[in-house]
Amino acid sequence: MFDKISRSWHLVKASAGVLRTDKELLLFPVISGIATLLVALTFLVPVLGLRIFEGGEIGPAGFVVGFLFYVSQYFVIFFFNTALVGAAMIRLEGGDPTVADGLRIARSKIGVILGYAAIAATVGIVLKALGERAGFLGRIILNLVGMAWTFATFLVVPILVTRDVGPIDAVKESVTLLKRTWGENVVGNVGINFAFGIITTLVVVLAVAMVVGAAMLGGPELAIVVAVIGVIAVALVAVFQAALSGVYSAAVYRYAVDGQAPQGFSGGELQAAFRPK
């Protein structure tokens, strides 16, 4: 277990090193965030115009719109995550990826990305619907199921990038690979989320304190400026977290398949982490 923790930590550090080398990879989460916001705004028109969710009950039209919204959001997220992972794979193979390379890879996988988005949307809607009807204990169980789904599908995108398979086969293969990399999967994901959760909290607390101070010293105009800077800072943390998670998934996949350090990861510590014990 300690070997898995050590290997996970080295993989996370090496993934951050890839981002330092290829800073353009950070553009994918930025574009993804903008696109998902545009999708959300687009769906506000039928939701508000048709009053689909008014009255406390959701009819057939509401389910259709809700499902299409989930599919659209997941498609955008998976598309740009595929572009990110595709570019990261090029780096891991010793190449020098560009944003255009990542987008080209994602465009070539549009069909399977859409299929996987539909699967993820179905799972998400089912868990959400069950959660609204479940009690306290039931919601805990459903949260655990959702977490298990996240871990089980962690390597789906790298599989779609490197293999010519459909979304269902990709999910099955991701589950199979989880058996080999459960330690790196769980430790790495939990570690990244925990670390960035702390960083985000600190940034938010600092931003709130600065906004209050700016309001007291410089008035509402200065407070608004500081608040905008704080929002941008939080967004930048989220962008780096998303990019780091994408690169990490590519690294874990390469380790699961090859059992050794990817080419793009150099350094004695990382090589030692992959050395047979």
Q: Whole-angstrom Cα distance, residue 79 to residue 31?
A: 11
Residue 269 pLDDT: 41
Number of domains in the chain: 1
Q: Whole-angstrom Cα distance, residue 4 to residue 225?
A: 45
Q: Whole-angstrom Cα distance, residue 183 to residue 257?
A: 15
144-184 per-position pLDDT tens digit: 888 888 888 888 999 999 989 999 999 999 888 877 666 65
What range defines the domain where residue 108 resides? 2-274
99-146 per-position pLDDT tens digit: 999 999 999 999 999 999 999 989 988 888 787 777 777 788 888 888
- The answer to whether the CB of 154 falls within 8 A of the CB of 170 is no
Of 35-49, 147-161, 179-193, 228-242, the poorest mean pLDDT is in 179-193
Check: pTM over 0.85? Answer yes or no.
Answer: no
Q: Which of 242, 257, 276 is nearest to 92 (CA)?
A: 257
Contacts with 18 (C-beta within 8 Å, 6 or more apart), sequence order: 25, 88, 91, 92, 247, 251, 264, 265
Q: Whole-angstrom Cα distance, residue 101 to residue 32?
A: 16
Contacts with 65 (C-beta within 8 Å, 6 or more apart), sequence order: 43, 46, 47, 50, 52
